[in-house]
Amino acid sequence: MLVKRLVIVVPGLKKETKLKVPWRQMYEIALQFNNMGVKTAIATSDIQKETIEGIPIINLKQKEIRILNEESKKQIMDFSPDLIYWMGNPYSGTYLKKSGFDIPLVLHISTLPISKKEWQNFSFKELFSNNRLQFLTSFFPFNRIFLKLNNSSITGIISSSKTITDRLIQLGIKESKINTSPLFFEPNFKISQKNIEEKFSVCYAGPLSTERGSMLILKAIRILKSRGKKINLLFLLRTKKYEEKEIIQNEIQKLDLIEDVNLVTGVLKPEEFLEYISSSKIVTIPTKYVWNEPPVTILEAMLVGKPVITSNVCGLPEMVADNAITVNPRPEIFANELEKLVDNTEKQLEIGLKGQKYASSLPGWESLAKWTLNSLKEVLDKETRGNKN
């Protein structure tokens, strides 16, 4: 069955997030679908414009896009979609149980339901200040909340990785309901041909969040310093918030790393980010958990030809395969890996070139759109056959 008209529900999509994970994937799919002749609108509550780069915008008149009110449902159905594609998470079954739509709804999931393998890396504070729900639902009977994804109101699920799919199946989600997306990647910058001096030993790029590994990398550098190893860390804190900058500065001072860390704050333009990455020998992302897969920073660093050291959590081992180094997210372990690699130019080049070849071989947005459209057609075909039976 053909998909001619489609609404993609994208909570949190706005001008400043449209090129970030996970919103960018939905945004690029909408662009590509419209180019392919599939009339596609984005439903969100954060964009006031009627269109964005030719994509029709359905501006929902409610703050939180979880349980839709009747007006929002009407706004979506006024577009006359054949199908709704909803950017959600493993908990979406709770509020989509009674969605009220009489057309197929496909849920996109890019977040791994947490288990002991992930939360054992968290501190007590990290678990209970930001991740209480995720922690509690890793235990029976609370993990039964995920079974709501089997509700008939959710016609199908598209998962961002095999790791997520396998975890969902372990939790009791019907395997026949899930399609697993291959890895797609397309950078938002062009690779520069100019030679950039490698001024820094290591680069970290990410938010303040300790779960992302911001404090972990600082502790790893402190361990190396105590061993007499001089490491210059380029810390790209990708935020404008002054209070977050102050927190990192205080931590740097506390660890006696003022002369060892170059802190850069603010949202960087793609070409600025590229230049910073290129000025470092190694890129490290010591995250304890991946909220939305795939984490593009890793693939961007690989594309530039930089060796990457990242964590062996969530879908990262699947994503990078043997094209990067993956280890447990512990300061001592990251310090050990950095120490082995930072002066080994030959090994850096070997891993960097291998990662670059891998990242540059990945299919881009057009391929993602074609794969997604075929998956949505499969869902419609299954629904049609089921209704006939």
Q: What is the pLDDT of residues 241-281, one digit of tens each?
A: 778 889 999 999 999 999 999 999 888 888 888 999 999 99
How many Å apart are CA 261 and CA 200, to the nearest integer?
A: 9
Q: Would you state the torsion angle of the CA atoms of residues 289, 137, 66, 124, taken in this order, to the nearest 10 degrees?
A: -50
User: pLDDT tens, 134-193?
Assistant: 999 999 999 999 999 999 999 999 999 999 999 999 999 999 999 999 999 998 877 766
Strands across the sheet with 233-237, in order? 261-265, 233-237, 200-206, 280-285, 308-311, 325-327
* pLDDT for 388 beyond 70: no
User: pLDDT tens, 49-62?
Assistant: 888 889 999 999 88
Residue position matching structure tokens 């540059």: 360
pLDDT at 186: 92
* pLDDT for 364 beyond 60: yes
Q: Is it true that 5-184+364-388 and 200-361 share their CATH fold?
A: yes
pLDDT at 165: 97
How many Å apart are CA 348 and CA 342, to the nearest integer?
A: 8
Locate the domains of the chain by residue range. 5-184+364-388, 200-361
Instruction: List the CATH code of the domain at 5-184+364-388.
Output: 3.40.50.2000
pLDDT at 387: 59
Res. 77 pLDDT band, cuts 50 70 90:
very high
H or E segment and range at residue 184: none
Helix (H, G, I), strand (E, B) or coil at 328: coil
Average pLDDT of the chain, as a whole number: 91
The pair of three-digit structure tokens given for residue 268, joined into one six-digit string: 């960087």
Q: Give CA separation, 13 vs 10, 61, 239, in Å.
A: 6, 14, 18
Answer yes or no: CATH 3.40.640.10 is held by domain 200-361. no
